[in-house]
């Protein structure tokens, strides 16, 4: 047990070191980086497609796509008009700083204003691994239920932004966005919450404003 704990601690320490190197590289080129996390199917790629088509003319965006395998999402991002680099984790349930370092080596960071790292779909481990980002953002989709902040608190604690997505399904599911927001703020009083639908576009203005403000901050 002691050995196992030590191995985990070492992994996290090495990760922090590489994350700091990534951050220096981002800051040297002026690109702002968001680590976007959620459970599978909450709408990360759809959010990015919308964001690219809405902000793409004023904000030069790139995406690092994290998936266990496959490159469907990277293809969607490129079709939407942004540059994308695919990372396949080959079984790993989260991105770490080293994977992101390898991916960004393929990008011209100086040509970007905003880089979004789309993490592996998972509400647990991605929250433990910094990748050098300026901010973590998360999506919870309403059909996942209003008990998720209490059950996956670290993700809510680490995120500066919570997008409650699929608000268009509110009439059809038994989940209260008010409760999600309240419980998320109990865990993280500073969290910014936007209720959105990435299908209809509802509520995305706040998210766009937040991304623009991040450029200045």
The residues binding its own copies (CB under 8 A) are: 4, 7, 11, 39-42, 67-70, 72, 91, 93, 120-125, 128, 141, 143-145, 147-148, 150-154, 166, 168-169, 172-174, 199
Which residue, 60 or 179, is less far from its own copies as judged by CB? 179
Which residue, 193 or 214, is less far from its own copies as judged by CB? 193
Which residue, 99 or 214, is less far from its own copies as judged by CB? 99
Which residue, 101 or 154, is less far from its own copies as judged by CB? 154
Which residue, 32 or 148, is less far from its own copies as judged by CB? 148
CB of 79 to its own copies, least distance (A): 15
The CA-atom distances, in angstroms, between 33 and each of 24, 104, 116 are 12, 11, 6
**Within 10 Å of residue 190's Cβ, how many Cβ atoms?**
7
CB of 55 to its own copies, least distance (A): 23
Can you read off the two tokens belonging to residue 176?
Answer: 């209260």
Can you read off the two tokens belonging to residue 39?
Answer: 């459970």
Which residue, 22 or 141, is less far from its own copies as judged by CB? 141
Write the DSSP symbol of residue 164.
E
3-state secondary structure string, 3-55?
A: HHHHHHHHHHHHHHHHHHHHHHHHHHHCCEEEEEEECCCCCHHHHHHHHHHHH
Task: Write down the residue that tokens 């990435």 correspond to.
Answer: 198
Residue of 139, 129, 155 whose CA lies nearest to 22: 129
- Radius of gyration of the chain measured on its C-alpha atoms: 17
CB of 127 to its own copies, least distance (A): 10
3-state secondary structure string, 94-137?
A: CCCHHHHHHHHCCCCHHHCCEEEEECCCCCCHHHHCCCCCCEEE
CB of 62 to its own copies, least distance (A): 21
CB of 72 to its own copies, least distance (A): 6
CB of 189 to its own copies, least distance (A): 19
């Amino acid at each position: 047990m002691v050995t196992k704990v030590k191995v985990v601690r070492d992994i996290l320490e090495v990760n922090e070191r590489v994350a700091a190197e990534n951050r220096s590289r981002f800051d040297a080129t002026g690109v702002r980086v968001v680590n976007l996390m959620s459970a599978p199917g909450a709408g990360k790629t759809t959010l990015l497609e919308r964001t690219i088509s809405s902000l793409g003319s004023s904000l030069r965006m790139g995406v690092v796509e994290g998936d266990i395998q496959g490159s469907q999402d990277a293809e969607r991002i490129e079709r939407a008009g942004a540059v994308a680099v695919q990372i396949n984790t080959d079984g790993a349930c989260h991105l770490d700083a080293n994977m992101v370092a390898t991916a960004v080596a393929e990008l011209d960071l100086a040509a970007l204003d905003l880089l979004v790292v789309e993490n592996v779909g998972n509400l647990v481990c991605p929250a433990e691994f910094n990748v050098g980002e300026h901010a973590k953002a998360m999506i919870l989709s309403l059909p996942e239920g209003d008990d998720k902040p209490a059950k996956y608190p670290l993700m809510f604690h680490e995120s500066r932004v919570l997008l409650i997505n699929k608000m268009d399904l509110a009439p059809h599911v038994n989940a209260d966005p008010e409760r999600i927001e309240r419980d998320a703020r109990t865990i993280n009083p500073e969290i910014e919450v936007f209720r959105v639908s990435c299908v209809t576009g509802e509520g995305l203005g706040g998210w766009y404003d937040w991304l623009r403000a991040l450029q200045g901050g």
